[in-house]
Amino acid sequence: MRRLSIPAALVTIGLVMAACGTSGPSGAPTTLGDNEDELNLIIWDGYAEKGAVDPAYDWVTGFEDETGCKVNATPMTDSANGVSLLQGGQYDGGSFSGDATIRLMASGDVVAVNVDLIPNYKDVFEGLKLKDFNSKDGVPYGVPHGRGPNLLMWNTDVVTTAPTSWDPIFEGGSAYQGKISVYDSSIYIADAALHLMQKDPDLGITNPYQLNDEQFAAAIDLLEKQRDNGAVYWGLLTDQVQSFESGDTVIGTTWPYQVNLLKGEDPPAPVEAVLPDEGSTGWSDTWMIYKDAAHPNCMYRWMNHILSPEANAEATVWFGEAAVTQKACDAAEAISAGHCEQQHASDEEYWNTIWYWTTPQADCADNDDATTCKDQDAWIEAWSTLRGA
């Protein structure tokens, strides 16, 4: 932490107010100024690597040397945590998933970006531009980082037949009692709802994030059975990696990043992962800028940097998700051949089968006025009841 004397703080406030003077009506600046000396980001673990885990993957040091913006990255445990962190006011921005971006845009904690100031934005796949999770009223509120599905991972020593469905962790899970690994976040309720969409069509679930009382109760019921079957919850992805290493868990829901980490060990951990037949929840992450960012110029340069072919290729290969520009796909060939094909980077048909994380809303996030769905608070409360009781 840097200490500010009172005069320095007053000068800073003055500078911030002066900076506001140059911004356009929508809140987005029209020109960029000189870089500040640092940049405070909220990230998903693995989104701002400095080569600490693998020296070959470092897309932060070069940015720091080039811009003079020292990057301080804080990982969030889940989207609700990310929202809360940003609202604390200490950060310039972050890489948020849809369940966070919609809330942040609604609360006005993030502001529209002027993509003219982000030269690499023009290369972004059209399928990722001006979506409801990264724009409002036709104005972009950020730049994409990458997207991917949540996967089913298992220990190949214990689970010898490769599963093709989520069944082993929801139904008949007794086979792996006490060894099922589950993401510790309210958004995981959607995974249960997605499973019920197929298993119990009578419930009439059409969107796993917008559930009425009956559908919600059914999902919670399924999750309670899973818990009582001895689910082990991971909040930090390192917890999951550790529990797969130690054998405390052998099957569960994961992100491609943990699969990469486990397979990258020496010797590689015996794990495999698949996108189950029922489809999956997933994410499409967006870098957004905080309304009162103390380092807006560094933030803009970071948003441009993360869209650059090299940085986006490295970052998405590292995490195991789809790159967001064709140039990044080309650059990725040098690091991991066939990366974009495996990840369906530009295959919009494929992405239509993935349910991106989004915010549960009382009005069901649709056009009619009915408020029949469980809202975000209800989801969080149900999750803490599930975990706490």
Q: Which 170-229 residues touch another protein, going by CB under 8 A?
A: 178, 186
* Shortest distance (Å) from residue 363 CB to another protein: 9
* Per CB under 8 A, 274 contacts another protein: no
Q: Quick check: 46 and 283 in contact, CB under 8 A?
A: no
Q: Quick check: 320 and 314 in contact, CB under 8 A?
A: no
Cα distance between residue 151 and residue 9, in whole Å = 47
Q: Specify the residue, 41 or 340, whose C-beta has the smaller distance to another protein.
A: 41
**Rg of the chain on CA atoms, in Å:** 21
Q: Which stretch binds another protein (CB under 8 A): 40-48, 76-84, 146-154, 339-347?
A: 76-84
Q: Which stretch binds another protein (CB under 8 A): 28-36, 62-70, 74-82, 262-270?
A: 74-82
Q: Which stretch binds another protein (CB under 8 A): 9-17, 75-83, 270-278, 335-343?
A: 75-83
Sketch the per residue contact string, 22 through 61, with another protein: x for CB under 8 A, - otherwise. Answer: ----------------------------------------
| Interface size with another protein, residues (CB under 8 A) | 38
Among 23, 35, 74, 87, binds another protein (CB under 8 A): 87
Q: Which stretch binds another protein (CB under 8 A): 62-70, 121-129, 141-149, 241-249?
A: 241-249
Among 35, 74, 81, 260, binds another protein (CB under 8 A): 81
* Per CB under 8 A, 269 contacts another protein: no
Q: Quick check: 71 and 63 in contact, CB under 8 A?
A: yes
Among 247, 292, 371, 372, binds another protein (CB under 8 A): 247
Among 55, 267, 268, 388, binds another protein (CB under 8 A): 388
* Shortest distance (Å) from residue 181 CB to another protein: 11
Q: Phi and psi for 71 in degrees, rounded to 5? A: -90, 125
* Shortest distance (Å) from residue 376 CB to another protein: 5
Q: Specify the residue, 22 or 384, whose C-beta has the smaller distance to another protein.
A: 384
Q: Which 322-361 residues touch another protein, going by CB under 8 A?
A: 359, 361
* Cα atoms in the Cβ-side hemisphere of radius 13 Å centred on 145: 25
* Shortest distance (Å) from residue 12 CB to another protein: 23
Among 12, 206, 242, 353, binds another protein (CB under 8 A): 242
Cα distance between residue 305 and residue 298, in whole Å = 10
Q: Which 153-172 residues touch another protein, going by CB under 8 A?
A: none
Nearest to 195 by CA among 174, 225, 175: 225
Listed in sequence order, the residues at least 6 apart from 47 whose beta carbon sits closer than 8 Å to its beta carbon are 73, 95, 145, 285, 315, 319
* Per CB under 8 A, 389 contacts another protein: yes
Cα distance between residue 277 and residue 163, in whole Å = 10
Nearest to 182 by CA among 219, 257, 232, 221: 232
Q: Name the pairing type of β-strands 110-111 and 135-136.
A: unpaired
Strand ranges (DSSP E) for 240-303? Answer: 251-254, 271-274, 280-290
Q: Specify the residue, 7 or 388, whose C-beta has the smaller distance to another protein.
A: 388
Q: What is the DSSP string of 84-96?
A: HHHHTT--SEEEE
Rounded to the nearest 5 percent, the helix, strand and coil shares of the chain are 40, 20, 40
* Per CB under 8 A, 378 contacts another protein: yes
Specify the DSSP class assigned to residue 29: B
Cβ atoms within 10 Å of 387's Cβ, excluding its own: 14
Q: Which 282-301 residues touch another protein, going by CB under 8 A?
A: none
* Per CB under 8 A, 91 contacts another protein: no
Nearest to 322 by CA among 338, 344, 337: 344
Helix (H) or strand (E) holding 135: strand 135-136
* Per CB under 8 A, 84 contacts another protein: yes
Q: Which 125-154 residues touch another protein, going by CB under 8 A?
A: none
* Shortest distance (Å) from residue 110 CB to another protein: 11
What residue ranges bind another protein (CB under 8 A)? 77-78, 80-81, 83-84, 87, 102-103, 106-109, 178, 186, 230, 232-233, 235, 242-243, 246-248, 359, 361-362, 375-378, 380-381, 384-385, 387-389
